[in-house]
Amino acid sequence: VQLQASGGGLAQPGGSLRLSCSFSASIADHYPLGWFRQAPGKAREGVACIPSSSRGRTFYVPSVKGRFTISRDNTKNAVHLQMDSLKPEDTAVYYCATAQILMYGSTCLTPPQYDIWGQGTLVTVSS
């Protein structure tokens, strides 16, 4: 399966963007899905994820909790990241990813466990 991320761009502080990640083939619900970001000079970090057998549960890094929402669209083979109340510190290249292993709970926020990555999409938050 291949992942294709889109939706990045320039937003003003307090604004919104919606990132989308489309899959070339369906991904079974028992595999995790995640959004990650990497700012210049910083390590890649987990932003939001849907764990294996999620039952609707999602996990977020504390800095985006309450502002970002991850959602899965099985009918369109896609996962989205709605980003609201954007801050300059949200500026980064954002990546979507999945893995061919099971991940439960907040472990789905851990980048090294993912082995299938989409190309990044740049998000810049600036006035």
Phi, psi of 33 (to 5 degrees): -130, 140
Q: What is the DSSP letter of 15?
A: -
Distance CA 121, CA 118 (A): 9
For 49-103, how does the pLDDT look when each residue is reduced to its tens digit (9 = 90+)? Answer: 999 987 889 999 999 999 999 999 988 799 999 999 999 999 999 999 999 999 9
pLDDT of 56 reads 85
Is pLDDT above 90 for 11?
A: yes
CB atoms within 10 A of CB 93: 18
Q: How far is CA 54 from CA 4, 12, 111, in A?
A: 22, 33, 18
